[in-house]
Every structure is written in C-alpha cells, then in structure tokens.
Structure 1
Amino acid sequence: MIDVVDEAGQRIDRYDLMCSEIDNDVGPEVLELIDRVESGKDDLIDADGNGWVAYITRDKVWFESLYNDGEGGAVTLSQYKLAVETYLRFLSDPERKPIEVDFPEA
C-alpha cells in the first residue's frame, strides 16, 4: 500500500487517487511509459490498467477510475514518477519494509 503523508504522519487526501491507481494497476511497464513522455516520444499516454486509467503528460498526470471510484487527482510527472519508483522498490523487497521518501509538493 502506498500513501503520501505529512510530517505528522497524516494521509494527504489530494494524493488518494494517485495512490489508489498505483496500488491497483502499476507495474514496471509504467516507468517505460513515463520515459516515453519525458523523452518527447509521446505527448499523452493513456495508461489503461485493470481498474484505472492514468493520463500521463509532461505537465501533469491525472487519473480516472473505471469503477466510479473517482476522477482527477492531478499531480506533476515528477511526483508520479517518484511514487511509482518507490512503490516498485517496495514490491521488490521480500520483507516489504516501509519506505519513506521526501515527497515534493507541487
């Protein structure tokens, strides 16, 4: 599970859609999609998963649930990339120890 929390450890609601999308649909292939946008090969990628679509552009990433769990939740590409990289690092740890990173505010 991934959450973005403040210094007091309280979940920051505006990142909930991103976290839900990452928890449910993200795998290593998403980093390849991010790289395609960062390199300019694509302007917009609709990363369609099992329950979510992440719309990835150089300026922002936003989310749409395929099951009416929400829409919106725009974050910067760098925020999304950091969250995805951190989540994949967590999944690769056999002990699944919590990982804390400084999360940049937009």
Structure 2
Amino acid sequence: MKSPLKLRVEPRKKIEVDGERQVTRKISVIDNDRNIVEPYDLMCACLDSDVQTVEGSGALFMHWLRKIEAGEVGFIDFGGNGWTVNANRDKVWFEGLYSQGEGGEVSFAQFKFALETYLKYLADPQHKPIEVEFPDH
C-alpha cells in the first residue's frame, strides 16, 4: 500500500499566517491535501536547522547513522546548533536546545530517508524541489 504522506523539499518561501510574515522550512512531510503532518514536524525542524551542507553537517549526520547501522554503537546522541538527535537502530527522537520541543519519535528508516532526500536537494546547485513518497514506518 502506498503511503499517503509525501516528503517535500523546496526553497524557502515567505508567507503570511494570521497577519504575521513567516518563512517556510525547506523540508516537510505533507499529506494528500498538502498540509504539514505534525508527528514529523520536529524531525523536519531539526534537519532544516542543523543540516546546512552535504559535506559538513550532512556528512556528520550520515556518519553517525552509519555507525548505528554497522552496529558500532547501539545508541548515540548528536546534533548541531539547535537540536540534539537521539538515535538507535529502531527509532530517532529530538530535543530542541532552545525550547523548540522534544520528542517527535520517528523510525530510524524514516529519519535516514528524510536525511538522504534532503542531502540530494542540498547537492543540487539549482535546488529543484523534490517530492517523494514518505515511508509509513
């Protein structure tokens, strides 16, 4: 069965919400009506905030995921400027360093998929939007 969710990566947009100007995230999980799906909000906020380049922070995030996959570590917490990422082979969850929230548990596979997709977007010099089915587990 196809997942009704999509992972969308695109350039930031300036929008107005309730009379306030805001800037959208570059990465989000959306439903068929193109609404942001809340359970994945912390994951997307973390990636948007703490992964800026493929070679730098992106490579570091992938390094830690590979260590978990290889069985070199069973649990790790790592992160960047705004988030701590807690991960084991089954799940990943998030802690905002500046009261952005905590929790947002996703599967290891979902997080890795989101990170790899985001890195493809960052590697594209034209930053063409990407929209792909998001795994439901």
Task: State the Cα distance separating 1:45 from its structure 2 match.
Answer: 1.1
Give me the whole-angstrom Cα distance separating, in 1, the residues matched to 2:130 and 2:76. Answer: 28
Which residue identity does 1:17 align to in structure 2?
A: L
* Helix, strand or coil at the partner of 2:131: coil
Per the alignment, residue 4 of structure 1 pairs with 29
Give 1:74's aligned residue: 105
Distance 1:90 1:28 in 2: 14
Provide runs of 4+ in structure 1 moved above 2 Å: none
Gapped regions of structure 1 (runs ≥ 5): none
Count of residues paired in the alignment: 106
Tell me whether 1:59 sits opposite 2:90 in the alignment: yes
Partner of 1:20: 45
- Tell me: higher relative CO, structure 1 or 2? Use CA pairs within 8 A at least 6 residues apart: 2
**Greater strand content:** 2
What is the CA distance between 1:48 and its match in structure 2? 2.5
Identity of aligned residues (%): 48
Normalised TM-score (structure 1): 0.96
Q: TM-score, normalised by structure 2?
A: 0.75
